[in-house]
Amino acid sequence: MTTEKSAPAEPAPGPGPATTSQPRRRGWLVFLRDVLVIVLIAVLVSLVVKTFLVRSFYIPSGSMEQTLHVKDRILVDEITPRFGSYERGDIIVFQDPGGWLPPSTDPARPPVVEAAEWVLSLVGLAAPDSDDHLVKRVIGLPGDHVVCCNSVGQITVNDVPIDEVDYIEVPAADSAASGDPFDVVVPAGSLWVLGDNRYRSKDSRYNTDQPGKGFVPIDNVVGRAFLVTWPFDRFGFLDFHHEVFVSVPDPEPEGGAP
Confidence band of 79 (pLDDT split at 50, 70, 90) = confident
Average pLDDT along the chain: 81
Residue with the larger pLDDT of the pair 130 and 177: 177
Position 178 scores a pLDDT of 96
In angstroms, the CA 28 to CA 34 distance is: 10
Confidence band of 254 (pLDDT split at 50, 70, 90) = low
In angstroms, the CA 163 to CA 12 distance is: 92
Phi, psi of 122 (to 5 degrees): -60, -35
Domain ranges for the chain: 53-103+116-245
In angstroms, the CA 9 to CA 14 distance is: 14
Cβ atoms < 10 Å from Cβ of 241: 21
Position 68 scores a pLDDT of 97
76 close to 227: Cβ distance less than 8 angstroms: no
Confidence band of 85 (pLDDT split at 50, 70, 90) = confident
Residue with the larger pLDDT of the pair 244 and 109: 244
Segment 237-255 shows an average pLDDT of 90
> Which of 38-52, 97-111, 142-156 has the least mean pLDDT?
38-52
Segment 242-252 shows an average pLDDT of 95
Amino acid identity for residue 203 in this structure:
D
Which strands sit side by side in the sheet containing 160-161, from one edge to the other?
Answer: 160-161, 156-157, 145-148, 182-185
Spell out the residues 6+ positions from residue 234 whose beta carbon is closer than 8 angstroms to its own: 69, 72, 228
User: For residue range 101-126, what is the model confidence (pLDDT) as tens digits?
Assistant: 986 555 555 565 445 555 555 545 55
Residue 182: Cβ-neighbour burial (10 angstroms; 0-12, 13-18, 19+): middle
User: For residue range 125-134, what is the model confidence (pLDDT) as tens digits?
Assistant: 555 555 689 9
For residue 151, indicate whether it is catalytic. no
Query: At the fourth CATH level, which superfamily is domain 53-103+116-245?
Result: Umud Fragment, subunit A (2.10.109.10)
**Given a cut of 70, is residue 223 above it in pLDDT?**
yes
195 close to 206: Cβ distance less than 8 angstroms: no
Out of 6, 50, 61, 63, the active site residue is: 63
For residue 201, indicate whether it is catalytic. no
In angstroms, the CA 31 to CA 38 distance is: 11
User: Has this prediction a pTM greater than 0.85?
Assistant: no
Confidence band of 216 (pLDDT split at 50, 70, 90) = very high
Position 257 scores a pLDDT of 43
**Torsion over CA: 243, 248, 250, 251 (sign):** negative
Spell out the residues 6+ positions from residue 77 whose beta carbon is closer than 8 angstroms to its own: 53, 54, 223, 224, 225, 226
Query: Closest Cα to residue 80, out of 240, 213, 192, 231?
Result: 240
Confidence band of 78 (pLDDT split at 50, 70, 90) = confident
Position 132 scores a pLDDT of 81
Out of 56, 130, 136, 204, the active site residue is: 136
Amino acid identity for residue 8 in this structure:
P
Best mean pLDDT range from 20-24, 54-58, 168-172? 168-172
In angstroms, the CA 101 to CA 134 distance is: 9
Confidence band of 256 (pLDDT split at 50, 70, 90) = very low
